[in-house]
Amino acid sequence: MEAYAKSELERAGWFKPDGFYGDMMGHAVMKMIKLFADEGHSGMSASVAVGLFKTLANWEPLTPLTGDDDEWNEVSDGVFQNKRCSRVFKDGDGRAYDIQGKVFREPNGASYTSRDSRVYVTFPYTPTTEFVDVQS
């Protein structure tokens, strides 16, 4: 696994000093690959571990949000942000919404969010994103 990862990272230019983040990203990923390889996972446990890691590293919850009071931090007067999923907010009226509920995608593939991205949610809630293709 380590040899394969190193070869692919080299081929993609991740160890070049003038690349993205210099050569730091290639070395950082290799550290993770080495740690993962040392765990000795087989096919099934490897895919479970990778899935869990990806979810957590992207700051996504493993289970649905409950909306319980202990899940919220007040970020400004009457506006609360979910502790478990930073894209979910709640206004003073108690209505919760996902600011990435809709992501708009241009024909060239560029994506963006706007105020229209807000989707009101009910709990329990598993964060999801709808991609909306827009015409030029």
Name 133's Cβ contacts closer than 8 Å, sequence gap at least 6: 105, 107
The answer to whether the beta carbons of residues 61 and 54 sit under 8 Å apart is: no
Show the 3-state SS of 22-41.
Answer: CCHHHHHHHHHHHHHHHHCC
Residue 105 corresponds to which tokens in the numbers above?
A: 């995608």
**pTM, 2 dp:** 0.82
Q: What is residue 124's three-state secondary structure?
A: coil
pLDDT of the residue at 42 = 87
pLDDT of the residue at 19 = 80
pLDDT of the residue at 43 = 85
The answer to whether the beta carbons of residues 15 and 9 sit under 8 Å apart is: yes
pLDDT along the chain (136 residues), means of 10: 96 92 94 96 93 95 98 96 98 96 96 97 97 91
Gap between the Cα atoms of 129 and 99, Å rounded: 9
